[in-house]
């Protein structure tokens, strides 16, 4: 059993559980409504504009949904910043929030 295989698999399942948290209606894509539902659980207000820019940052094919492969790609690219906590805005922070929560 190769240890790197195992760690990749573990990472993928962490991505998946973060995705499932954000995909509130479980239709396989994170929409603005999904994010609104997610952020309504937090005391700090998140505006429609902020939600729109979060989706735009990750929605590579511009269909209005962040699918799992898009989510995974952003998360992968953002990981060093997300993990160090140095990122303040945009897709990195919302995805990091979902994973941490």
Binding residues vs Ca ion (CB under 5 A) = 23, 25, 27, 31, 34, 59, 61, 63, 65
Output the smallest distance, CB 37 to Ca ion, in A.
9
Q: State the maximum Cα–Cα separation within the chain, in Å, rounded to a whole number.
A: 47
Q: Which is nearer to Ca ion, 26 or 88 (CB)?
A: 26
Contact 82, 71 (CB under 8 A): no
Q: Which is nearer to Ca ion, 83 or 94 (CB)?
A: 94
The H or E element that residue 30 is part of is: strand 29-30
Output the smallest distance, CB 36 to Ca ion, in A.
11
Output the smallest distance, CB 2 to Ca ion, in A.
32
Smallest CA-to-CA distance from 71 within 18, 26, 34 is with 18
3-state secondary structure of 27: coil
Q: Which is nearer to Ca ion, 63 or 76 (CB)?
A: 63
């Amino acid at each position: 059993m190769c240890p790197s295989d195992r760690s990749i698999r573990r990472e993928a399942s962490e991505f998946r559980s973060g995705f499932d948290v954000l995909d509130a209606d479980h239709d396989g894509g994170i929409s603005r409504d999904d994010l609104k539902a997610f952020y309504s659980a937090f005391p700090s207000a998140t505006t429609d504009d902020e939600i729109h820019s979060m989706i735009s940052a990750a929605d590579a094919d511009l269909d209005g949904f962040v699918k799992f492969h898009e989510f995974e790609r952003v998360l992968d690219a953002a990981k060093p910043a997300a993990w160090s906590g140095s990122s303040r805005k945009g897709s990195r922070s919302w995805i990091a929030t979902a994973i941490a929560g």
